[in-house]
């Protein structure tokens, strides 16, 4: 059984910034933070990783309503965007788990160089994971197309874009859409995060850890 309903996903279609933000705050954020805390406990058992759950607050949305919302799982108790983090995100028809590095991270350029330098290793590991998707730029309808993540060129291009463009970010993950998204619960989310953990470790610490 999933942790979201069709009505929950429909919140991301509510017209207008303020009504949508209010519904996210009142209905989605509590559910996401509850799931985030449950995942933190589950992942501590599975991987020994110490993470902290943070609900998205959308403070930069001044005019347009948010197209997605999330709970972040990061290594710090505050200012989670300053480090690589996991995002358990929902959009209007999908649920996704991503490893994210935003332009708020002071080490973003350093991480971009790591991705370039370790592109072949990233590609080899991606071969074991199936469909990885690039969420850096997409239309929030369904899911982005699967990325050619089993190719080193994909990763080196991604890293070089981070180095060249100040507003670029790394945002790679997996997702489920439609009826399948409604069946996603804690176990599937924890499994997805566990499978993505080596990418997180490489970006956060420049080392593999399986």
**What pLDDT is recorded for position 204?**
84
> 80 lies in which domain range?
6-205
**What pLDDT is recorded for position 207?**
66
Of 48-62, 96-110, 196-210, give the range with the top mean pLDDT.
96-110
Percent of the chain with pLDDT over 70: 96
Q: Is residue 57 part of a domain?
A: yes
Q: Is residue 56 part of a domain?
A: yes
Q: Is residue 141 part of a domain?
A: yes
Q: Is residue 30 part of a domain?
A: yes
DSSP type of residue 13: G
Average pLDDT over residues 188-208: 88
Q: Which of the four pLDDT bands, split at 50, 70 and 90, describes residue 65?
A: very high
How many folded domains does the chain comprise? 1
pTM of the model: 0.93
Q: Which of the four pLDDT bands, split at 50, 70 and 90, describes residue 63?
A: confident
Average pLDDT over residues 180-206: 92
b/e sequence 120-130, b meaning 16+ C-beta within 10 Å:
eebbebbeeee
Reported as a single tens digit per residue, the pLDDT across 31-60 is: 999 999 999 999 999 888 899 999 998 866
Q: Is residue 173 part of a domain?
A: yes
For every residue of 146-186, DSSP letters joined together read BP-TTSHHHHHHHHHHHHH-TT--EEEEEEEEGGGGGG--H
Q: What is the CATH number of the domain that holds 105?
A: 3.30.930.20
**What pLDDT is recorded for position 161?**
94
């Amino acid at each position: 059984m999933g942790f979201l309903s069709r009505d929950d996903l429909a919140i991301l279609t509510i017209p207008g910034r303020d009504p949508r933000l209010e519904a996210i705050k009142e209905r989605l954020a509590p559910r996401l933070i509850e799931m985030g805390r449950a995942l933190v406990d589950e992942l501590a058992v599975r991987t020994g990783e110490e993470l902290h759950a943070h609900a998205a607050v959308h403070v930069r949305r001044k005019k347009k309503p948010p197209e997605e919302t999330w709970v972040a799982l990061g290594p710090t108790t505050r200012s989670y965007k300053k480090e690589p983090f996991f995002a358990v995100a929902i959009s209007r028809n999908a649920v996704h788990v991503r490893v994210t590095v935003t332009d708020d991270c002071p080490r973003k350029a350093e991480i971009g160089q790591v991705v370039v330098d370790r592109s072949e290793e990233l590609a080899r590991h991606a071969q074991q994971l199936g469909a990885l998707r690039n969420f850096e730029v997409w239309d929030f309808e369904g899911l982005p197309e699967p990325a050619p993540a089993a190719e080193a060129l994909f990763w080196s291009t991604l890293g070089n874009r981070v180095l060249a463009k100040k507003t670029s970010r790394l945002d790679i993950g997996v997702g489920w859409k439609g009826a399948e998204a409604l069946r996603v619960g804690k176990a599937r989310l924890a499994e997805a995060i566990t499978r993505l953990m080596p990418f997180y470790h490489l970006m956060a610490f420049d080392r593999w850890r399986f």
